[in-house]
Amino acid sequence: MVFRKIIQGISSLLFPPICLICDQKMGGNERVVCNLCWDKLKPYNSTKIKDVVTSDIDVIFPVFLFDEHLQSIIHLLKYQGNKSVGIQLGQIMAQNILPKIKNEIQNFVISPIPLHPVKLRERGYNQSEAIALGLSEELHISANMNLLKRIVNTKTQTKLNRSERMENVKNAFVMNKIDIIPKAVILIDDVFTTGSTMNSAARVLKNQGVSVVYGISAAAPIIGD
């Protein structure tokens, strides 16, 4: 054990971990993505997101701007198996939104947008759940990772237009059986584009008696540009 620690120590001196975004050496407390790269995320300040707020989400809150830099971080999380990037992203999102909405959301329950079981098997984890975990720890708000279930393996939304996206996810979710329906839920997704996925999940929650649904996403592109 001690021997292994010494070997690890020597090897990290000889081969310090490299940030997978900028290729620079990282310090001891950094993992996968360096602090400088996390600091480069741009806060989402646009008000244009209001244009796409869909009927069943009360407040939508993208934390960062979806630019190339954020896209490469999301890529590490979704397609290269770096679940810990999602947890870190969630923590950093929480630090960014905490001052703005801390008091509003004390009694909310955090719920990630679920993946279909087939996709979950392919990826090994749900990236939105990783983000939700980081957020929940940092905000000290409880999370229910099984509130919603995805029952339709929807095709990827990237090439669909807005109405096709709405149709694609229309009946994609159901709520799992639960003893006490939460009054207020925060849905978590990685990227908010047209809102069709999140709105479809929000509608299911509202139909089951949830009164207030917020949507927090890691990022959104500036809509309308």
Tokens representing 108 are 């909310």
Stretch that binds Zn ion, among 18-26, 115-123, 141-149, 183-191 (CB under 5 A): 18-26
Q: Is 41 helix (H, G, I), strand (E, B) or coil?
A: coil
List 19, 32, 87, 133, residue binding Zn ion (CB under 5 A)? 19
**DSSP 8-class letter at 103:** T
Q: Which stretch binds Zn ion (CB under 5 A): 30-38, 127-135, 152-160, 208-216?
A: 30-38
Is residue 22 within the footprint of Zn ion (CB under 5 A)? yes
Q: How many residues bind Zn ion (CB under 5 A)?
A: 5
Residues belonging to the chain: 225
At residue 183, what is the residue type? K
| Interaction between residue 105 and Zn ion (CB under 5 A) | no
At residue 46, φ and ψ (nearest 5 deg) are -70, 150
Please identify, among the stretches 2-10, 28-36, 71-79, 186-194, the one whose residues bind Zn ion according to the rule CB under 5 A.
28-36
Q: Where is 62: in which H helix or E strand?
A: strand 59-65
**Could you give the CA distance from residue 198 to residue 55 in angstroms, rounded to a whole number?**
11
Q: Does 172 bind Zn ion (CB under 5 A)?
A: no
Question: Smallest distance, Å, CB 75 to Zn ion?
Answer: 14
Position among 30, 32, 34, 129 found at the interface with Zn ion (CB under 5 A): 34
Which CB sits closer to Zn ion, 37 or 115?
A: 37
Q: Assess contact for 198 and 187: CB atoms under 8 A.
A: yes
Non-local CB neighbours of 200 within 8 Å, separated by 6+ positions: 166, 169, 170, 171, 172, 173
CB of 49 to Zn ion, least distance (A): 28
Q: Which is nearer to Zn ion, 22 or 145 (by Cβ)?
A: 22
Q: Which of residues 42-81 bind Zn ion (CB under 5 A)?
A: none
Using CB under 5 A as the binding rule, whether residue 37 contacts Zn ion is answered as yes
Q: What are phi and psi of 174, to 5 degrees?
A: -135, 160
Stretch that binds Zn ion, among 34-42, 123-131, 140-148, 217-225 (CB under 5 A): 34-42
Find, among 63, 50, 112, the residue nearest to 217 by Cα: 63
Which residues of the shown chain bind Zn ion in the complex (CB under 5 A)? Answer: 19, 21-22, 34, 37
